[in-house]
Amino acid sequence: MKDVFLCHAGADKAWVETLATRLEAERVGNRHIEVFLDDWDIDLGENIVAKIDGGLRQARYCAVVLSPAMLKRDWPQAEWTARFMSDPAGKKGNLIPILLHERDPETRELIDIPMLLRPLRRLDFTQPSNFEGEFLELLRKLRGEKPRRGGWRDSSPYRGGAEHGAEAADDVQEVLVSNLLPVVQYPKYIWSGAATTQRKTDVWNSLTGMRVPPFHLADGCLYSFYGPDARANPFKSFITGGASKRENVADWAMNPDRSRQLVRLFNDALQEHNYHLRIRNLRDNRKQYYCPIFDDKARQFRWGGGGRVRTIAKLAKRPGGSTIGIHYSAKMRFFGLGLKFFLVIEPGWMFTSNGVTPLEGKQVTVLATKFGGKERNATVLRNVLMWGMLLANREDRIHIGLGGTDLSIDPVPALSSAPAGIDGDTMNLDRIFSGSAGGEVVEIDGQAEDELDEVLTMAVMGALGDDDGEIDLGDAEGA
């Protein structure tokens, strides 16, 4: 019996042999680990098919080395699918995906990981710097050890345990990724003048059909980011022309009351910016945004750098013929920290009755919380990046019109660091941040990443509504 069968393509042979050599130098109990590798275990004149069949049957684990070359070859796919059939639910955990290459070395296309392997936790060997940490994880699995917790490492060069105990953090630099998009530029001045009205509806009604910049009415004045003599100032007819005043935005930022008004102006501008991107917010919760479906066609998004497409909103049919819309959503709002401002993005889920009208009720809340709670850090970060790219609308920065100077926001979240962490517990940030200028697409020429289909559709069918197929959600309110 072998410990692991290495399923791979010939193009990856050199790397696989290096991995196999390292593994067979390690021990399980009182013996060395044994690897099934075709070049090592099939001799001249032996029946190749019979030997591979025996190797698959007898190996305790099957490690699938995922690469573009491997997914184009029939033999590796036959090997891992045969092993998959013996445990389709993954209860035994004896099929181990190993991601070797994320992109095709020639075409630079992203690897299309088989649907059946996507739910399985995989090892990431895409970067040479990952090798040692991921190798130790593979070794732990082959030895039958449970995942380690905290900073304890039995076989790694851990340096903190002797001084602080097994629960101490590892002496590694930890990069912390936030859900805060930094504002990198905002106007220097805010202007005010005596106003002819104190009702915002008067201003909005007069500017129907226009993109309305943010403004604030208070103390008999109209505040905006337009100078009183600016030719493009849409508020000229609402200012008497006297008592104009220019104030520094920095002074507003440092005043608690003024800072709240400034953030409110930024949030108003965000709502107007999103409206023209076909992103809407809820009537009773203006900070909650989603992508409605106006023409019954799913809305889809392509990652930057020519990456894959993912569905961000679609309609699904329920038993009984009713329709339900499934949407990614996000709570978005600005906040200030001294002279710095950030756009906070909190991803979530939302459901509609027809692609536009939100559904409300206890069942919807429970379902959205249930699936949002299952998402891990990498998934949440991925959704934050998606919303940042949507707001950027294929630009390198998010540009939100305020008046004379745009509000410019970096779509890449703010990073921080810590001098200690958990060795090996990392995400490949270069891979996550690869590519830029992604955005919504109209026509699709490739396969979409339909997480909505894979994760939610069947769950919604069973979780929302009674046995007769009717949705019992209370009244639906329009956005």
The more confidently predicted of residues 124 and 433 is: 124
Instruction: Give the model's confidence band at 159: pLDDT under 50 very low, under 70 low, under 90 confident, else very high.
Output: very low
Domains and CATH numbers, the chain: 4-147 (3.40.50.10140), 183-463 (no CATH)
Q: What pLDDT shows up at residue 274?
A: 93
259-317: pLDDT as tens digits: 999 999 999 999 999 999 999 998 878 899 999 998 888 898 888 766 778 888 988 88
Confidence check: pLDDT of 369 > 80: no
pLDDT bracket for residue 425 (50, 70, 90) = low
273 versus 473: the higher-pLDDT residue is: 273
| pLDDT of 17 strictly over 80 | yes
Rounded Cα gap, residues 249 and 262, in angstroms:
8
CA-closest candidate to residue 71, choices 126, 113, 123, 116: 113
Q: Is the pLDDT of residue 378 over 80?
A: no
pLDDT for 107 beyond 50:
yes
What is the 8-class DSSP label of residue 112? -
Q: How confident is the model at residue 35 (pLDDT cuts 50, 70, 90)?
A: very high
What is the reported pLDDT for 158?
Answer: 36
Of the candidate ranges 38-52, 166-180, 212-226, 353-367, the one whose mean pLDDT is the lowest: 166-180
47-51, 193-197, 361-365, 387-391: which range is least confident on average?
A: 361-365
Mean pLDDT of 366-382: 69
- Asked whether the beta carbons of 212 and 233 are under 8 A apart, the reply is no
Q: How many residues does the chain have?
A: 479
What pLDDT was estimated at residue 6?
Answer: 92
At 124, list the tokens.
């990431």
Weakest-pLDDT range from 32-46, 141-155, 283-297: 141-155
Instruction: Give the C-alpha distances (Å, rounded to integers) separating 420 from 137, 178, 430.
Output: 20, 17, 20
Per the structure block, which two tokens stand in for 156?
Answer: 């790694």
- Most confident by average pLDDT, 92-106, 187-201, 362-376: 187-201
The yes-or-no verdict on residue 362 having pLDDT over 90 is no
Residue by residue, what is the 3-state secondary structure of 406-436?
CEEECCCCCEEEECCECCCCCCCHHHHCCCC
CA distance linking residue 375 with residue 456, whole number of Å: 12
Q: Would you state the pLDDT for residue 163?
A: 40
Q: Which pLDDT tens digit goes with each residue over 63-86?
A: 999 988 888 888 888 888 888 888
Top pLDDT among 174 and 265 is at 265
| 459/479 Cα distance (integer angstroms) | 25
Residues in a beta bridge with 273 = none
Mean pLDDT of the chain: 80
Provide the percentage of residues in the chain whose pLDDT is more than 70: 78
Q: pLDDT at position 364, please?
A: 67
Q: 469 or 141: which carries more pLDDT confidence? A: 141
Nearest-angstrom CA–CA distance, 137 and 375: 22
Give mean pLDDT, residues 47-52.
90
* Confidence at residue 150, expressed as pLDDT on a 0 to 100 scale: 56
Per cent of the chain over pLDDT 90 is 24
pLDDT at 470: 40
**Region 453-459: what's the mean pLDDT?**
52
Evaluate if residue 211 carries a pLDDT over 70: yes
pLDDT value at 52 more than 70: yes
**Residue range 232-260: mean pLDDT, rounded:** 86
Q: Is the pLDDT of residue 435 over 60?
A: no
CA 62 to each of CA 102, 113, 332: distance values in angstroms, whole numbers, following the listed order: 20, 17, 44
256, 247 Cβ separation under 8 angstroms = no
In one-letter notation, the amino acid at residue 112 is D
Nearest to 286 by CA among 468, 479, 420: 479
